[in-house]
Amino acid sequence: MELMVLIALLNGGLIALSRTFNGALAKHSHALIASCCNHIVGFVLLSAWIICLENGANQLQGQPPVYLYLGGVIGALFVVLNSWALPSLGVMRCTLLVICGQMLTGVVLDIISSANGIHWASLVGVCLMLAGVVFLNRLKQPTPQVKHANCSL
Amino acid sequence: MQVSNKLTLLMSFVALCSGVLLALMIKLNSQLAMYSSPLWASWMAHGIGAITVLLMLFLLRKMLMGKEAKSALNADANLSRLPWWAYLGGVPGAATVVLAAVTVNSELALAGTLALMLVGQLILSCIFDCCGYFGVVKRRIRFTEVIAMVMILLGAMLVIYSH
């Protein structure tokens, strides 16, 4: 159990690391290039992993509907937007805002897809997060600015 | 100051939008994973993502070339050297998929994994910001930001655990 907790925490750290790398690349070149490198490197690594550990679990069972493959397209756009915003917001602020967008969308998707409404605790959570975002943007002084915030998208 | 304030607001909005995309992507990918495995779904998503960006780069190449040439003129000398590790964003990204598959199938389940990953993300984000690692602009975390962080984290936990 403790090991699993440690792995999950470490995993979150890896996410932050990945986004910071992409942000650095976007700052030096372009957010699209960052997304491109991220996906190609990830694809090569995961290909190697799947080939090395071929045990039948990764076989396709049945034909998934085509729209499910759009996840890849959306993921590519996510990395573009995220690496664009990260250099001028700082890692912590950017992470917080991404978490908010993610959780709020999750709740909206739940409301759309489930017939019996949502739990009250979710609504409290949504309000808390929205308040947090407003609070974050009410700071008098903005974060120290990156000299060449890459606005060329 | 006014300009940078506007930029911060715009970027905050962009970051929020990227969070929306992230949620949609996770939803689609987890459905795709039901047809095989999370590893396979992520592999597929990375491949399709790579093709998408290559296509976008190809379509937008004229615009990018113009912009790049312009920004190269007024770029700082210290910014023009690209560190080698900046290309490796895909490495921790791919490792995340594999490790997440391990923890989701343990006693932690999905909720515990999500919650701990959020905490891990925020801890390392704060460290990067405070120490200025990996090309991040070094800055102090303000007290108000800590309060906002606690509010957002609490809200996220409520959403995760009310499922």
The percent of residues above 90 in pLDDT, for chain A, comes to 8
Please compute the mean of the pLDDT values over residues A26-50 and round it to a whole number: 88
The pLDDT value given to residue B51: 92
The CA distance from A43 to B26, in Å, is 17
The pLDDT value given to residue A150: 47
B50-65 b/e with 16+ CB inside 10 Å = b?
bbbbbebeeeeeeebe
CB B152 within 8 A of CB A101: no
Low-confidence spans in chain B with pLDDT less than 70: 1-4, 67-81
Q: Give contacts of A 32-51 with B, CB under 8 A.
A: 32-47, 49-50
Q: How far is A61 from chain B (nearest CA, A)?
A: 5
The CA distance from A96 to A101, in Å, is 9
Q: Mean pLDDT check: name the lowest of A35-44, A70-79, B125-134.
A: B125-134
The pLDDT value given to residue B48: 92
Rounded to two decimals, the pTM is 0.82
Cβ neighbours, 10 Å, residue B9: 12
Supply A28's token pair. Answer: 């030096």
Least CB–CB distance from B124: residue in A17, A67, A146: A17
The CA distance from B151 to A125, in Å, is 9
The pLDDT value given to residue A57: 65
The CA distance from A100 to A104, in Å, is 6
Q: Do B76 and A147 make contact, defined as CB atoms within 8 angstroms? A: yes
The pLDDT value given to residue B1: 41
Whether residue A118 is predicted with pLDDT greater than 60 in this model: the reply is yes
Least CB–CB distance from A75: residue in B49, B103, B121: B49
Task: Choose between A53 and A94: higher pLDDT.
Answer: A94
Task: Choose between A142 and A5: higher pLDDT.
Answer: A5
Whether residue A146 is predicted with pLDDT greater than 60 in this model: the reply is no
The CA distance from B97 to A37, in Å, is 17
Please compute the mean of the pLDDT values over residues A129-134 and round it to a whole number: 86
The pLDDT value given to residue B79: 52
Whether residue A42 is predicted with pLDDT greater than 60 in this model: the reply is yes
Q: Mean pLDDT check: name the lowest of A27-41, A118-132, B77-91.
A: B77-91
Local confidence band at A41 (pLDDT 50, 70, 90 cut-offs): very high
CA distances from A13 to A106, B5, B56, B89 (A): 22, 29, 30, 13
Q: Would you give the distance in Å from CA A106 to the centre of its chain?
A: 13
Q: Would you give the distance in Å from CA B110 to the centre of its chain?
A: 20
Q: Which residue has the tokens 């996770």?
A: B26
Q: How far is B26 from chain A (nearest CA, A)?
A: 7
Range with the largest mean pLDDT of A115-119, A142-146, B1-5, B26-30:
B26-30
Task: Choose between A1 and A64: higher pLDDT.
Answer: A64
Q: How far apart are the first and last CA of chain B?
A: 43
The CA distance from B125 to B131, in Å, is 10
Least CB–CB distance from B37: residue in A20, A58, A152: A58
Q: What is the CA radius of gyration of chain B?
A: 19
The H-assigned helical ranges of chain A are 2-28, 31-52, 70-89, 91-113, 120-136
Whether residue A99 is predicted with pLDDT greater than 60 in this model: the reply is yes
Q: Which residue has the tokens 């909005």?
A: B13
The pLDDT value given to residue B47: 92
The pLDDT value given to residue A153: 41
Please compute the mean of the pLDDT values over residues A49-77 and round it to a whole number: 81
